[in-house]
Amino acid sequence: MIPRTVFSSDHEIFRDSVRKFFETEAVPFHAQWEEDGQVSRELWRKAGEQGLLCAPIPEADGGLGADFLYSAVVIEEAARLGLSGVGFSLHSDIAVPYIQRYGSAAQKQKYIPKCTSGEIVTAIAMTEPGTGSDLQSVKTTAVLDGDEYVINGSKTFITNGQMADLVIVVAKTDPKGGAKGTSLFLVEAGTPGFTKGQNLHKVGMKAQDTSELFFQDVRVPKENLLGQPGMGFIYLMQELPQERLSVAVGAIANAEAALKWTLDYTRERKAFGRSVFDFQNTRFKLAEIATELQIARVFVDRCLELHMNKKLDVPTAAMAKYWCTDLQCKVLDECVQLHGGYGYMWEYPVARAWADARVQRIYAGTNEIMKEIISRSL
């Protein structure tokens, strides 16, 4: 196997502690969280204490001042254990970076240290009932009225939606301005007029709270604008490669775990007097999966290296997201097949992972949108 070279020994030491943390603090409770539709608040606080949140955010801004590879470790270890309810990456690698990059000194000071400690859980609300891929068409508005913006609209499918204390809301400050009329706002839970809808019933990722959010005449001080008015769309485009890389990293780690579960299972399971692994079909399928995952791993690690050097471009991040999540779904499907009927039973990690994986091709920009992005660069 091609050795991984992207992580240092410090990252690997961190990996051990992350794995132990998840094994003791998350794995035993995940089935209950699936029933509850969300993880516990305590998990967030403990993760904050252990240094699992906001790793790549500079210390001066209230983060841990580590690098993105520490986040990649957290993503990989959660994915390997099938902890799809843990929304840390959305928080640390997607939402909080907006505050760090575009927020004022006062916004950073107010929110980021609490995001790092796990006291504040964040979400980012782009998608609306009427529009997802076509972000320029969001209908939520933010109208300046004196010293306040008045926000009206609704969002859906928002990760961490039930638990979120702070939401980055994408809204139009100039509804006729298209992309140039889009701005980002920080809206705190509890602000009058801001309500959380139902925790949505999903096919997988059952311990992840994914919600509708409603904004009715929500008044926020104009200081809650994130960055400059009208720059929201540009900010989103700048930050999406990290989100897409994060999804690719999780996809491959999860598929690698599925390969391992399937190797273990097929070696144990007997049919026609031998182990299922001994059938040539099984061995060939597993050989194909191992090969494709090795190819993906090398590609994703190279993307990580590029990202560390600020050289990961938008089309390459889109390639990683689309190709790795397609591969993840293909691998999971083969792994379920090799488990036979047990692969369809919820108590088997491979069944859960199969259900969890499907959305990876849909969120963070659908894989069709990824192909649009790639094709525009050709």
Per rule CB under 6 A, is residue 216 in the interface with ligand FAD?
no
Q: What's the rounded Cα separation, in Å, for the pair 235 and 185?
A: 12
Per rule CB under 6 A, is residue 32 in the interface with ligand FAD?
no
| Distance in Å, CB of 343 to ligand FAD, minimum | 22
Q: Which of 20-31 are b and which e, b meaning 16 or more Cβ less than 10 Å from the residue's Cβ?
A: ebbeebbeebbe
Segment (H or E) for 157? strand 148-159
Cβ-based nearer residue to ligand FAD, 111 or 363 = 363
Residue with tokens 């659908």: 366
Cβ-based nearer residue to ligand FAD, 100 or 211 = 211
Q: Are strands 166-172 and 122-125 parallel, antiparallel or unpaired?
A: parallel
Draw the binding track, 110-129, toward ligand FAD (x: CB under 6 A; -: no contact): -------------xxxxx--
| Distance in Å, CB of 133 to ligand FAD, minimum | 3
Q: Which residues pair with 168 in a beta bridge?
A: 124, 186
CA angle 86, 209, 156 (to 5 degrees): 130
Per rule CB under 6 A, is residue 374 in the interface with ligand FAD?
no
Cβ-based nearer residue to ligand FAD, 137 or 291 = 137
Of residues 191-210, which lie at the interface with ligand FAD (CB under 6 A)?
Answer: 202, 205, 210
Q: Give me the residue whose beta carbon is nearest to ligand FAD.
A: 132
Local structure of 51: helix, strand or coil? coil
| Distance in Å, CB of 200 to ligand FAD, minimum | 8
Per rule CB under 6 A, is residue 138 in the interface with ligand FAD?
no
Cβ-based nearer residue to ligand FAD, 158 or 186 = 158
Q: Which residues pair with 183 in a beta bridge?
A: 171
Per rule CB under 6 A, is residue 359 in the interface with ligand FAD?
yes
Residue with tokens 């132990």: 20
Check 25, 128, 243, 256 and give the catalytic one. Answer: 243
Q: Can you read off the two tokens belonging to residue 247?
A: 């999804």
Q: Which residues contact 360 (CB under 8 A, 6 or more apart)?
A: 247, 250, 251, 325, 328, 329
The only residue of 197, 302, 366, 374 in contact with ligand FAD, by rule CB under 6 A: 366
Cβ-based nearer residue to ligand FAD, 163 or 289 = 163
Cβ-based nearer residue to ligand FAD, 156 or 266 = 156
Local structure of 282: helix, strand or coil? helix
Active site residue 34: no
Residue 91 C-alpha from the chain's centroid = 8
- φ, ψ of residue 121 in degrees (nearest 5): -105, 135
Per rule CB under 6 A, is residue 157 in the interface with ligand FAD?
yes
- φ, ψ of residue 152 in degrees (nearest 5): -135, 135
- φ, ψ of residue 35 in degrees (nearest 5): -65, -40
Per rule CB under 6 A, is residue 133 in the interface with ligand FAD?
yes
| Segment lying near ligand FAD (by CB under 6 A), choices 20-28, 113-121, 295-303, 357-365 | 357-365
Local structure of 188: helix, strand or coil? strand
Contact call for residues 172 and 188 (beta carbons, < 8 A):
no
Cβ-based nearer residue to ligand FAD, 162 or 316 = 162
The only residue of 116, 159, 211, 316 in contact with ligand FAD, by rule CB under 6 A: 159
The only residue of 49, 198, 368, 377 in contact with ligand FAD, by rule CB under 6 A: 368
Q: What's the rounded Cα separation, in Å, for the pair 45 and 260?
A: 31
Draw the binding track, 245-284, toward ligand FAD (x: CB under 6 A; -: no contact): ----------------------------------------
Q: Can you read off the two tokens belonging to residue 338?
A: 């090799």
Residue positions annotated with a catalytic role:
243
Instruction: Using CB under 6 A, list all residues that contact ligand FAD.
Output: 90, 123-127, 131-133, 157-159, 202, 205, 210, 359, 362-363, 365-366, 368-369, 372
